[in-house]
Chains A and B, each alone.
Chain A
Amino acid sequence: MASAHAIASLDEEFEFTAETKRRLLIGIGTGVALVAIGAFLLASGVGSHETASVAQEGGAHEAGHHAYKWTNRLWANVWLNSVYFTGASVIGMFFMSYNYLAQAGWSVAFKRVSEALPAYLPIMGFVMLATYFIAGHDLFHWTNPGLYDKASPEYDPIIAGKSGFLNTPFYLTRIILYFALWYGLWRMLRNFSLQEDLHGGTEYYEKSVKFGTAFLLVFGVTSSTSAWDFIMSIDTHWFSTMFGWYTLASWHVTGLAIITLTVVTLKERGYMQWVNESHLHDLGKFMFAFTIFWTYVWFAQFMLIYYANLPEETIYYRERFTGYGGIYMTPFWVNLFLCFVAPFLILMTRDAKRTYSILKLAAWCIIIGHYFDFYVNIMPGTVGEHAGFGPMEFGMILIFACGFIWTIYSQLAKANLVPRNHPMLEESLHHDI
């Protein structure tokens, strides 16, 4: 069974057909239309809960918050999707880097898939910076200058104490630094990989190990700090020492699910026949393991806060359980169900990890579930009781997702689907567990 599959040829080009492009463009167009409909509905006041629950507990959560405008929800959605897809793309680089560092051979067969993900980073970086400039004051409470002015009635000693870290110049520097480092190091690895295809030898492999390791060092710090910047700083008073890990775990399992889904989809369309059941089994194990890891970190954060019972920490869960009229209760449980219960049970048996349809089901659960993970993290602090699920949310997801797929496909089309001169390719093609 081990090496029983016939490998026709190792030269295979992915074809990004005009039909696929047309569909993705229709997807983006539909997304834009949905966002426009959603914006129109919100601007004209349909479906808002203005009168319902302003006085709810937790509703008046951070005093001195800017007045709510319907555009807040638009920008919160942009921010939510940028954070989600930034994570999904940077994990491609993360996956490649730790495989290089561990000198792993098995993943070489589908390395081009993980290699394709980070190409979306510059767009996400640009969108994030633009969003910060346009709507930073609406999304981030800490950008309000009155908080740092002792004479102002809005003066907040706790937030003022964080001004060394949370100030606009340093914040922007960090964001630019994250994207520059992540994207720059990915470009290096990508170039080595393409050069290796042409010239062969082990020289590029050794260089890749070095730069991959450098990325892991960078990401070890920036994965945490970016989680604070992108998400935790929205709830400015609140902090959690688990938060960096928690976001990394969330991003990581999402990225793994996207890699698995892409590999299975490509295989079903007749590409990558050299990827065998053992590769898929290992990818399934990866998803299974990091599903549990995410839950572990999620629960560790929750239980410490629950047990310690400190008001400045428990407010985070209070807002999500009973705050804002309890509208975050459903996404909260949907998140837990799709990110833990479903994949945990679906992926448990050996056969499940070797069956395309079950792998795809689990991957979709994780991908959708972690959207809700970030939804529950970002929405309460930005739009509070005005959040919801309408055309705007679905449209925004469509736009970002179609853009992401477009980037992945165009990167896949740029190179041979298998890194044909990779020193560990032979090992990967005979992967058998």
Chain B
Amino acid sequence: MSDVHGSGKFLVGIFDDDDVVLQAVKEVKNAGVRIHEVYTPFPIHGLDIALGHPRSRLGIAAFMFALSGTLTALALTYYTEGFDWPMIVGGKNSYSPIVYVPIIFELTVLFCALGMVGTFLISNGMGPTVKPLMYDLRTTDNKFAMAIDLSKNNIVEGDIEQILKDSGAAEVNVKQF
């Protein structure tokens, strides 16, 4: 999870083509510029690797959420049927975990799914009251935007602009948050 809540002054290079932006990422990085993030209308293969993003820990989060669901279901079924109000149904033991496998399974899936929705909203800085940071509205349509945080780069603004243009940016805009 990178820092999605940018603040300050950004240079935004707009690209027309996915191959160009993928190549540009490598060139801009080689020129010594730190890229804040690249925004694209669709996933581009190899972009996360080119940007040098660390491997996603989403899988670990999913596993933890799922495990919490499993434990909740075990506790719930044991408390209600095995401890608080034991009942004998169909001649089975009052608490037989086999009977509750569907409940355990469903709660595992439910907790995992809801947890992932929450993780998605938090890690992307989205939510009902959060104002989204749009570097360029056209990234929801057909343009690719490369955002560069000026406060994290020691290179002069004009030079970065030139590097972006050299690597194929159709236009370079300044965005202030």
Contact = CB atoms under 8 A, between A and B. Distances in A.
Interface in A92-116: none
A303 B63 CA distance: 26
Interface string B45-67: 11001000000000100010000
A299 B99 CA distance: 11
Contacts of A299: 101
Contacts of A2: 45-46
Interface range on chain B (Cβ under 8 Å from partner): 10 to 19
B15 to A, nearest CB: 19
Contacts of A348: 63
A307 B99 contact: yes
Interface in A266-312: 299, 302-303, 306-307, 309
Nearest to B59: A350
B59 A306 contact: no
Contacts of A302: 98
B49 A1 contact: yes
B62 to A, nearest CB: 11
Contact of A432 (B45, B59, B101, B102): B45
B59 A349 contact: yes
Contacts of A432: 45-46
A302 B99 CA distance: 11
Contacts of B98: 302-303, 306
A328 B147 CA distance: 64
A303 B101 CA distance: 9
Nearest to A299: B101
Interface string B74-105: 00000000000000001110000011011000
A299 B59 CA distance: 26
Interface in A309-364: 309, 348-350
Contact of A309 (B46, B90, B101): B90
Nearest to B60: A349
Contacts, number: 22
Nearest to A2: B46
A433 to B, nearest CB: 8
Nearest to A430: B45
Contacts of B63: 348
Contacts of A306: 98-99
A107 B163 CA distance: 41
Contacts of B92: 307
Contacts of B101: 299, 303
Interface in A67-93: none
Interface string A1-34: 1100000000000000000000000000000000
A228 B160 CA distance: 71
Contact of B46 (A1, A303, A349, A350): A1
A306 B91 CA distance: 11
A299 to B, nearest CB: 6
A333 to B, nearest CB: 15
Nearest to A302: B98
Contacts of B91: 309
A309 B92 CA distance: 10
A2 B49 CA distance: 10
Contacts of B45: 2, 432
A306 B93 CA distance: 12
Interface string B21-56: 000000000000000000000000110010000000
Nearest to B56: A350
Nearest to B102: A303
Nearest to B55: A350
A2 B45 CA distance: 8
Interface string B97-134: 01101100000000000000000000000000000000
Nearest to A306: B98
Nearest to B46: A2
Nearest to A4: B46
A307 B59 CA distance: 35
Nearest to B89: A307
A238 B101 CA distance: 25
A307 B91 CA distance: 9
Contacts of B59: 349-350
Interface in A401-433: 432
Contacts of B90: 307, 309
A2 B63 CA distance: 27
Contacts of A303: 98-99, 101-102
Contacts of B46: 1-2, 432
A384 B98 CA distance: 27
Contacts of B99: 303, 306-307
A172 to B, nearest CB: 40
Contacts of B49: 1
Contacts of B102: 303
Interface of A: 1-2, 299, 302-303, 306-307, 309, 348-350, 432
Given A306-B99, A307-B92, A309-B91, 4 more contacts: A1-B46, A307-B90, A349-B59, A432-B46
22 contacts: A1-B46, A1-B49, A2-B45, A2-B46, A299-B101, A302-B98, A303-B98, A303-B99, A303-B101, A303-B102, A306-B98, A306-B99, A307-B90, A307-B92, A307-B99, A309-B90, A309-B91, A348-B63, A349-B59, A350-B59, A432-B45, A432-B46
Give the top 6 A-B pairs by smallest Cβ distance, nearest first: A2-B46, A432-B45, A1-B49, A2-B45, A309-B90, A306-B98
